[in-house]
Amino acid sequence: MATTTTSAQNLTTAKGSGARGTRIPVVDWLRGLAVVLMILAHGMDAWLLPEAKTGFVYALIRVASGIPARLFLFLVGVSAAIQIESWLGKGMASASMRGRLLKRGGQILALGYLFRLQEWLLSHCYGGWEALFRVDILNAIGVSMLMVALVATPRRGHRQILPCLLLAAVFLGFGTSIGPAHFPAWLPRPLTSYLGGQRPMAWFPLFPWGAWALLGVAVGHCWVAASVEEQRQRRCYLLTLLAGAVLVAGVTAVRLVDPSIIRYPSEVVRQMGPGIFLHRLGLIGMTAGFGFFWCRLVQGRFSLLCQLGRTSLLVYWVHIEFCYGSMVHSLRDRFHVVGAAVLVAMLTALMLGLSLAKTRYGRPTLDWLRARFRSLRLA
């Protein structure tokens, strides 16, 4: 985003503006979709009866639950590419670009640890010290931003798309071996968990999760390049949609021929494999293509998803407590699908209200607090 303050407002810190300052609404729309799916995933996980976590409907919920984290990380790269294109258009030096991206990544990483500290204190230190250093989605986003800053920043004015794709292939290729690996006990787990390891410390290690942000950089550059001309942009997003459909169809066909063509030792390891990666990438591609045409259709109208997408960090921070916090502990594991779905809808509406309040009153409130602080210092 244009400023560090604004970047902290969004979970993936994307401004959605291209090299010529043109906003790309589908970026906010996709981030908002990730927010809604995130609320659905956490709400269903928290409120469904254990015996209700079976059947076709729950299987669909599981598939939807696998999208938000991947989409957030993917948008880290897309957002970085959009910002890089903007900076290239302004003639900014590579060192300045890298410094700004590193600063934002460091801020999100610090917020990730602050969030873990808050949750740890609210849970009365449940989980011991490991709960403080768990590599969760905010930590993964922060580290991915740092990695993108080092790899994707242009060199001598040249975009670093190929290095990003090659490193993404490395993260994905070694994901099922390094991702769930047991590291030597003498190595600090709060650090090795960023590369791989076992839960509850390593939820989103770079192997293979780092591949999403790096791939997002390549896609983001393509989207911005296409945005200079309307017909070209339409073709680009149509190809994005079709490529996603081909990936989903290809993975589905392979699974129909042999559901266990690649055998994994556990479900956790399977989630790190190339099959899941390509399938989810296909779903994201189809969704992005549909989202572009939908945003064009409703252009100028209020969008729930875009609104939530612009305040994704705040919504993430607050909704977790409503799903897993001590004040709603009595709701845990008590509802069938319909009852849990009603609660998810209510929580989504509440988060939309919070998002609107943030948009309307957030900036004036911050300006008022800054003015008060300056007046106190001068007094």
pTM, two decimals, is: 0.90
Mean of the pLDDT values across residues 245-268?
Answer: 90
**Angstrom distance (rounded) from CA 54 to CA 245:** 27
The interaxial angle of helices 206-226 and 230-257, nearest 10 deg, is 150
Number of helices (H) and strands (E) in the chain: give both, helices first.
16, 0
Query: Residues of 40-61 as b/e, b for ≥16 C-beta within 10 angstroms?
Result: bbbbbbbbbeeebeeeeeeeeb
Confidence category of residue 128, pLDDT binned at 50, 70, 90: confident
Q: Return the pLDDT at 379.
A: 59
Convert the pLDDT of each residue in 32-83 to its tens digit. Answer: 999 999 999 999 999 999 999 988 888 999 989 999 999 999 999 999 999 9
**Angstrom distance (rounded) from CA 29 to CA 364:** 25
**Angstrom distance (rounded) from CA 140 to CA 244:** 24
Q: Which amino acid is at 20?
A: R
Q: Return the pLDDT at 15.
A: 38
When the pLDDT of each residue in the chain is averaged and rounded to a whole number, the result is 89
What string of DSSP letters covers 177-228?
A: HHTT----TTS-HHHHTTT---TTTBSS-HHHHHHHHHHHHHHHHHHHHHTT
pLDDT at 7 over 90: no
Q: What are phi and psi of 158, to 5 degrees?
A: -95, 130
Q: Return the pLDDT at 74.
A: 98
Convert the pLDDT of each residue in 130-159 to its tens digit. Answer: 889 999 999 999 999 999 999 999 998 899
What is the CA angle 194-199-205, rounded to 5?
A: 25
pLDDT at 1 over 80: no
> Are residues 68 and 41 in contact, defined by beta-carbon separation less than 8 angstroms?
yes
Q: Return the pLDDT at 93.
A: 94
pLDDT at 28 over 50: yes
Convert the pLDDT of each residue in 300-351 to its tens digit. Answer: 899 999 999 999 999 999 999 999 988 888 899 999 999 999 999 999 999 9
Convert the pLDDT of each residue in 232-242 to its tens digit. Answer: 999 999 999 99
Q: Return the pLDDT at 363.
A: 81
pLDDT at 265 over 70: yes
Q: Return the pLDDT at 6.
A: 41
The ranges assigned to domains in the chain are 4-177+206-378
Convert the pLDDT of each residue in 342-375 to its tens digit. Answer: 999 999 999 999 999 999 988 888 777 777 777 7
Beta-carbon contacts of residue 51 (< 8 Å; ≥ 6 apart): none
Q: Which of 9 and 331 is assigned the larger pLDDT? A: 331
Convert the pLDDT of each residue in 152-185 to its tens digit. Answer: 999 988 999 999 999 999 999 999 999 999 999 8
Mean of the pLDDT values across residues 201-223?
Answer: 96
Q: Return the pLDDT at 375.
A: 73
Q: Kindly list the distances between the CA atom of residue 96 and the CA atoms of 73, 78, 216, 262, in Å, as whole numbers in the listed order.
A: 23, 19, 21, 44
> Are residues 148 and 218 in contact, defined by beta-carbon separation less than 8 angstroms?
no
Rounded percentage of the chain residues whose pLDDT exceeds 90: 71
